[in-house]
Chains A and B, each alone.
Chain A
Amino acid sequence: DIVMTQSPDFLAVSLGERATINCKSSQSVLYTSTNKNYLAWYQQKPGQPPKLLISWASIRESGVPDRFSGSGSGAIFTLTISSLQAEDVALYYCQQYYSNPFTFGPGTKVDI
């Protein structure tokens, strides 16, 4: 199974400042024949199900504010919130869908 790790566990950022979350996979999730990274980022607010923010490591879902961006390739990835807003307080998870089981990272809590 591919093991996903995230850092930090907890991140406190001032309003308007940048938040950066790191995600590493125990093996590459880059499928060379498609040149795609099979990596997603989800946001989960208290009492709500997760919401898909970014797929294929860097493709923002429709309706996701452009302050959210994803980057990275292979086994190292980053989610960046360029200017933190109050509504961005949440847990953030990365997930690989390169191979079954589709494992999640342990999550990063972002707070003000």
Chain B
Amino acid sequence: DVQLVESGGGLVKPGGSLRLSCATSGFTFSTYTMHWVRQAPGRGLEWVSSISSSSSYIYYTDSVKGRFTISRDSAKNVFYLQMNTLRVEDTAVYLCARGPDGYNPIDNWGQGTLVTVSS
């Protein structure tokens, strides 16, 4: 079975940093694009970032450009989201997800990890 398990969430002050991890299993990690999607409390889904299987294609939503960095480690089947200069509006459940490389839908999701940015 495909499994995606996030970790690294928590409470952080504005301006602080966190690194989220997503451990994967049950599929060939090196052939999939991996995504981070967030959901603020009581709100809808917001796509945050993606990284292609070879790490050649990396994309971010405008509101996190220059602050967040996505990366992957194919030897460990894990990918990451380094979040710097966090803002109150970054508070959300962050879900990791996968999709086939290229322009394809997200087909599997993790349960999410909560990031709370508050003083």
Give the A-binding residues of B (Cβ under 8 A): 35, 37, 44-47, 50, 59-62, 95, 97, 99, 103-112
Closest chain A residue, CB of each to CB of B104: A97
Contact A1 B109 (CB under 8 A): no
Residues of chain A lying within 8 A (CB to CB) of residue B50:
100, 102
Tell me the residues in window 22-62 of chain A with beta carbons closer than 8 Å to chain B beta carbons: 31, 38, 40, 42, 44, 48-52, 55, 61
Q: How many A-B residue pairs have CB under 8 A?
A: 63
The main secondary structure of chain A at its interface with chain B is: loop
Residues of chain A lying within 8 A (CB to CB) of residue B37:
104
Q: How far is the CA of A93 from the CA of B43 in the complex (A)?
A: 12
Cβ contact of A101, chosen from B59, B99, B109, B110, cutoff 8 A: B59
Q: How far is the CA of A52 from the CA of B100 in the complex (A)?
A: 13
Give the B-binding residues of A (Cβ under 8 A): 1, 31, 38, 40, 42, 44, 48-52, 55, 61, 91, 93, 95, 97-107
Residues of chain B lying within 8 A (CB to CB) of residue A51:
109
Cβ contact of B45, chosen from A48, A50, A55, A99, cutoff 8 A: A50
Contact A49 B46 (CB under 8 A): no
Q: How far is the CA of A69 from the CA of B103 in the complex (A)?
A: 22
Contact B47 A101 (CB under 8 A): yes
Q: How far is the CA of A91 from the CA of B45 in the complex (A)?
A: 11
Contact A55 B105 (CB under 8 A): yes
Residues of chain B lying within 8 A (CB to CB) of residue A31:
103
Contact A97 B105 (CB under 8 A): yes
Residues of chain A lying within 8 A (CB to CB) of residue B108:
52
